[in-house]
Structure 1
Amino acid sequence: MVKVSLVGFGNVGRELLKRLADVGGELGVEVTAISSSRGSVIVAGPGDLAYALKLAREGRKLDAHPGFREGMSAVEASIVGDADVAMITLPPSYSTGEPNRSIYYRLLEEGVSIITADKTVLSLDGSKLLEKAMRNCLFIGYRATVAAGTPAIDAARGLRLREVARVRAVLNASTNYILGFIEKGLSFEEAVRESIKAKLAEPDPTIDTHGWDPAAKLVILANTLGSDARLDMVERTPLESFSEEVVRDSVGHGRRVKYVASADLEKGVYRVRPEILDSRDPLATAEGEENVIVFEVEGTSVLLKGPAGPAWRTAKVMVTDILDYLEWRNKLESC
């Protein structure tokens, strides 16, 4: 049996709980603790889990649970719940890294493995985090951090030591939607408002439009390929540096503006910026929630295209990481 704590009870955290309720028994996974930013619930029996599931299905906050413990931290709840793995769905905190960074390192110090959809710590100091996990003989799964519904991390792992010279990608669905609205005639401000209203963009849209989100994903991809990049190494140009007229005129000339994340792995140059692309460029075809990644490798290219979110798909990908954790643990036990 694998004991799991859920760290975060937003959209992805709620979907994750529902997904684990469906397949957890089959996998041998037991949820023993659930945490939000304000406190935690220790799942002491089926009644506690059933009530948490009710809250998840109704889209309600964790503090409505009768067993909610105000002020109990995610790390404390994981320890009390005797968790083997913490599944993290916290919102990012790129400016300071906190409280995410402290939570990750404290979990590792307490002997708890990590499966995460949060990009914060992996993009700020991923090498340090992974080294600490390795020293402590712990597992870190992070498939859901990049293009969640598409196996981008698996593709990058398969290309290690394959002389990947460059990565070009559209990694942010929110800016796809914003650019799509602008192409239809809306101003930048109107497009952002419509995207937020439709829950296609974050309440703080600068996470997307100022390149934080795609930059973090680019760093994680590059490091999976073998680089040692950090978020502060990525040159970010805001999406709005291109006017609405440029976006719409490009369509009229058979081109499209896309928010492109690129990594020149040979020179160590990382960028996120709006670019005018020829319509034949694979990146120009990204629509809505689609991500497109081109790995330039050994004089040719590998193209990956597929969905990112939404929350339910991200949750499913995190459960896929549990399979890797189980295989990893079985190998350890058999040695």
Structure 2
Amino acid sequence: MKSEKNIRIALLGFGPVNRSFTEILADKGEGLYQRYGARLMVTAAVDSTGGALDVEGLDPGRLVKAKGFGSVAGYPEKGQTGLQGLDALARSEADIVLEATTVSMQDGEPGMSHVRAALSLGKHVVLANKGPLVRAYQALQSLAQDHQVSIKFSATLGGSLPTYNIGVRDLAGCTINRVDAILNGTSHYILSSMNSGVTYEEALAEAQRLEIAERDPTLDVEGWDAANKLVILANSILNVPATLDDIERIGITHLKPSDLPLTMLGTATRNDDGGYTLAVRPERLPEDHLLAALPPLSMGIVFHTDLVGPLAMTVNERGPKPTAAAMLRDVLEIAATGR
């Protein structure tokens, strides 16, 4: 076993992802300590109603139980109704902040303020929330560098897919000529169903029944979620300072049976000047494309480079736990390297 290292964690947002992260700690915390020498301690957790705070560590199982009764503010003795994220952050003594509040693409809030405050206080940040990165990727990276901390975001690039690690580390030295990506599971499920003869309305209703589509599916079916992920991918892997305005975006709600079969695809195509053309739109894939037979409940990505590949990764996942596992991956990397 490695020497003991206590890693204090603040959980901002206690929806499905951070709740699943906490469940993982309850189930595997001791095993993670034995394997990695890092004792992961939750010192603050905040949801929309309030929070719980204890710099000596909150019990993960009791946090999950309190949330099951309505809010982490119901945590015995340490719960506080009305506790806000910024207050909890300042008092948590956290080394790492896990930000997974509800996404606001208009201004990135409240996640943007949480991330800026955490970095300014010298705390590492792990994100499942795409909003701050889409709105201010370059500025947040500069802020992290100024305070000698890291901002990590594996979970924003396709759940548990190791998109960032492959694109940056494992393809180091390669020129990426094209990226093809199916990074929104909802639109992929709906289009896969439509390709089999189901109407859009029927496919959406089934996706909502399976809880893979929101009551308002606009972000998914109009391509906004995939475009958000493509912005992050372009900035972080392709070194292109892209924004949503740089992406051609076409949704799937207008499609007719005669248009099919199609796949909702995000693409980044390298231009002669070294820049990239970015798009999210329904496309007809050739039968030999590595994503052509991707199952309905899956996501996947293909890197086309000058030296390696095409290199494809796919994942079949449902529920928030794989996304929480991606956050855990980032936390353990920070614990091991300090960055």
Name the structure 2 match of 1:205. 217
2:230 to 208, 211, 218: 218
2:286 maps to 1:278: yes
In structure 2, give the amino acid aligned to 1:109: S
How far 1:272 sits from its partner (Å)? 0.4
Name the structure 2 match of 1:311. 320
Runs of 4+ in 1 over 4 A off after TM superposition: 44-50
Name the structure 2 match of 1:323. 332
Closer, same or farther: CA 287–172 of 1 in aligned 2, 3 Å = same
Name the structure 1 match of 2:112. 101
How far 1:45 sits from its partner (Å)? 6.2
In 2, Cα distance between equivalents of 1:79 and 1:244: 54
In structure 2, give the amino acid aligned to 1:312: K
**Matching of residues 30-49 of structure 1 within 5 Å:** 30-43=41-54, 49=60
Deviates most, 260-269 or 108-117:
260-269
In 1, Cα distance between equivalents of 2:39 and 2:139: 31
How far 1:160 sits from its partner (Å)? 4.2
- Where is the helix percentage greater, Structure 1 or Structure 2? 1
2:251 maps to 1:243: no
Closer, same or farther: CA 75–46 of 1 in aligned 2, 3 Å = closer
How far 1:171 sits from its partner (Å)? 1.0
Alpha-carbon displacement from aligned partner over 1:174-233 (angstroms, at most 9, x marks no partner): 112112332343321222122112101123211111111111111222222222222332
2:175 maps to 1:163: yes
In structure 2, give the amino acid aligned to 1:301: P
Closer, same or farther: CA 93–244 of 1 in aligned 2, 3 Å = farther
Closer, same or farther: CA 161–46 of 1 in aligned 2, 3 Å = closer
In 2, Cα distance between equivalents of 1:49 and 1:74: 18
Closer, same or farther: CA 64–245 of 1 in aligned 2, 3 Å = farther
| Structure 2: runs of 5+ lacking an equivalent | 1-5
Secondary structure in structure 1 of the residue aligned to 2:310: strand
Name the structure 2 match of 1:6. 11
1:154 to 161, 165, 181: 165
Name the structure 1 match of 2:94. 83
Name the structure 1 match of 2:66. 55
Name the structure 1 match of 2:3. none
Contact map agreement 1:88 1:117 (CA 8 A) in 2: yes
Name the structure 2 match of 1:182. 194
In 2, Cα distance between equivalents of 1:17 and 1:32: 12
Contact map agreement 2:43 2:57 (CA 8 A) in 1: no
Deviates most, 40-49 or 149-158:
40-49
Secondary structure in structure 2 of the residue aligned to 1:19: helix
Aligned length: 321
TM-score (norm 1): 0.88
In structure 2, give the amino acid aligned to 1:18: E
In 1, Cα distance between equivalents of 2:248 and 2:130: 18
TM-score (norm 2): 0.87
Closer, same or farther: CA 232–199 of 1 in aligned 2, 3 Å = same
In structure 1, give the amino acid aligned to 2:236: T
1:191 to 186, 203, 224: 203
Secondary structure in structure 2 of the residue aligned to 1:31: strand
Closer, same or farther: CA 287–62 of 1 in aligned 2, 3 Å = same
Deviates most, 298-307 or 81-90:
298-307
Closer, same or farther: CA 107–45 of 1 in aligned 2, 3 Å = closer
In 2, Cα distance between equivalents of 1:71 and 1:232: 37
How far 1:50 sits from its partner (Å)? 4.2
In structure 1, give the amino acid aligned to 2:294: A
Secondary structure in structure 1 of the residue aligned to 2:266: strand
Percent of aligned positions that are identical? 28
2:242 maps to 1:229: yes
Contact map agreement 2:25 2:60 (CA 8 A) in 1: no
In 1, Cα distance between equivalents of 2:257 and 2:71: 38
Secondary structure in structure 2 of the residue aligned to 1:241: coil
Contact map agreement 1:147 1:308 (CA 8 A) in 2: no
Contact map agreement 1:14 1:59 (CA 8 A) in 2: no
